[in-house]
Amino acid sequence: MRYHNITKDDMLNGDGLRVVLWVAGCAHCCKGCQNPVTWDPDGGLPFDGAARAEIFEQLDKSYISGITFSGGDPLHPSNRLGVRELMAQIKEKYPDKTIWLYTGDSWENILYYPMMKYVDVVVDGEFVQEKADPKLLWKGSANQRVIDVKRTLEQPDPLVPVLHCRDYEQVYIETSRPSAVKGCCD
């Protein structure tokens, strides 16, 4: 596995403050991608012990909610084994920290991947520039879904994803009423 960056104290790629691992390698090559430098699976740096230690140092902080895997695509064939191994280590050492994963693949194609047992939230689907909207919560285009993996896998039909959170626009409309008391993820 190779990576381009480790972002610390990130507030844009999941709930709370997070550490984000930006892996190298993506076969989707979406038009308008925010990070095309990560498409080449041979780009970036080898993920080594120093990178792992940097991530664990961040996860040791009590105020860090968890880690987000992005890129590139963490589910690119060149990343799957390394991502799964790192997720397993993180869940063992930090069982209360959440793992988020961004992928251009669809939930229906990935729900049986072995690493899904470690993932709390997945943002699925390719970025579609024509459906881009800055008001969307944790996703770039309206076709993408922010899926609660644990709740989805627990239900009788895991092919029907349970959404983790609604979009900003819907949350704003619902919470702007005086009687609204629920948070965006209720």
What does the pLDDT look like over 82-125, one tens digit per residue? 999 999 999 999 999 999 999 999 999 999 999 999 999 999 99
Structural domain contains residue 186: no
* 185 part of a folded domain: no
> Does the residue 39 lie in any domain?
yes
Quick check: is 14 in a domain? yes
CA atoms within 13 A on the CB side of 110: 27
- Residue 38 counted as domain residue: yes
Q: How many domains does the chain have?
A: 1
Q: Find the domain containing 78 and state its range.
A: 2-175
- N-to-C CA span, the chain: 36
Look at residue 63 and tell me if it is in a domain.
Answer: yes
Tens of pLDDT, residues 132-155: 988 888 898 899 999 999 999 999
CA distance 69 to 169: 26
